[in-house]
């Protein structure tokens, strides 16, 4: 089973770091000013790991 990435959207502060690092995996909702997942599975894990590590509020996680 492959890993899935998810964002705790209520915790997201809208910094867009994840979107800048992995634009194919994460998007940004201008209305809510929150990031969201475009591609939950099959994205580049190294890029997603970097987004997880750099998220200032640690709201991005792997779900297996």
Q: Can you give 9-43 as a three-state secondary structure string?
A: CCCCCCCCHHHHHCCCCEEEECCCCEEEECCCCCC
* Domains and their CATH numbers in the chain: 4-63 (3.30.70.20)
Residue 1: is its pLDDT beyond 80? Answer: no
Confidence of residue 2 (pLDDT cuts 50, 70, 90): confident
* In the block, residue with structure tokens 């909702």: 29
DSSP structural state of residue 63:
E
**3-state SS assignment for residue 4:** strand
Q: Which residue shows structure tokens 């998810």?
A: 6
In tens, the pLDDT along 14-44 reads: 999 999 999 999 999 999 999 999 999 999 9
């Amino acid at each position: 089973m492959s890993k899935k990435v998810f964002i705790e959207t209520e915790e997201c502060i809208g910094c867009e770091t994840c979107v800048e690092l992995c634009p194919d995996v994460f998007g940004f909702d201008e209305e809510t000013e929150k990031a969201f997942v475009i591609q939950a599975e099959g994205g580049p894990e190294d890029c997603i790991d970097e987004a997880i590590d750099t998220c200032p509020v640690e709201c991005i996680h792997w779900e297996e």
